[in-house]
Amino acid sequence: MSQAAEPKADAGLGALGREVADDAVRLVHAEIDLAKAQFKDAARRLIVAVVLIVAASVLLLIATIEALGALPIAFSQRLFGNPWLGWVALGGVLAVLAALLALLGTLAVRRSLTEGKQTVDAIKEDTRWVKGLTRRGSSES
């Protein structure tokens, strides 16, 4: 009688094991679907944020252009007396600012290239070191 009960218990354990495996698969699929949904929602929110930032940047650019157009007129009447001197002064200030920003950008690019070169050199050195280890290891065998 106990022998007849054991196959049922084994079948029950096998069915239970399959059920656990199926539940695990369903759980993994549900988590993947949840991650996809969360990613899509986050991507939508990110797109909206990027569009808002771009719109703000465009409006800031327009405001800057308007302000730069008004500055020479205000300066020329109060400081220089001639309208065209205000435009020349503004052009000079913008040229100096552009040169300064270009210099800072060039220095940043050089610095990042130097850091990248150091990383590449370190990787090459590590590669040579590993090759040396494998050569010593194969010659010792």
Q: For every one of its 141 residues, what pLDDT tens digit does the chain have, with 9 covering 90 and above?
A: 445 545 555 667 888 888 888 888 898 888 888 888 888 888 899 999 999 999 999 999 999 988 888 888 887 777 777 778 888 888 888 899 999 999 999 999 888 877 777 777 777 887 887 777 677 655 555
**Domain check: are 86 and 136 in the same one?**
yes
Expressed as residue numbers, the domain containing 10 is 1-81
What was the pLDDT predicted at 115? 72
**Domain check: are 68 and 121 in the same one?**
no
**Domain check: are 90 and 67 in the same one?**
no
Q: Within 10 Å of residue 50's Cβ, how many Cβ atoms?
A: 10
Q: How far is CA 49 from CA 42, 76, 108, 139, in A?
A: 10, 41, 28, 60
Cα–Cα distance for residue pair 56/105, rounded to 1 Å: 24
How many domains does the chain divide into?
A: 2
**Domain check: are 67 and 5 in the same one?**
yes
**Domain check: are 63 and 47 in the same one?**
yes
**Domain check: are 62 and 89 in the same one?**
no
**Domain check: are 74 and 94 in the same one?**
no
**Domain check: are 102 and 40 in the same one?**
no
Reference 92, options 107, 100, 105, 106; nearest CA is 100
What was the pLDDT predicted at 1? 46
**Domain check: are 121 and 89 in the same one?**
yes
Cβ atoms of 74 and 86 within 8 Å: the answer is yes
**Domain check: are 77 and 8 in the same one?**
yes
Domain-terminating residue out of 37, 58, 81 = 81
Domain-terminating residue out of 81, 107, 127 = 81
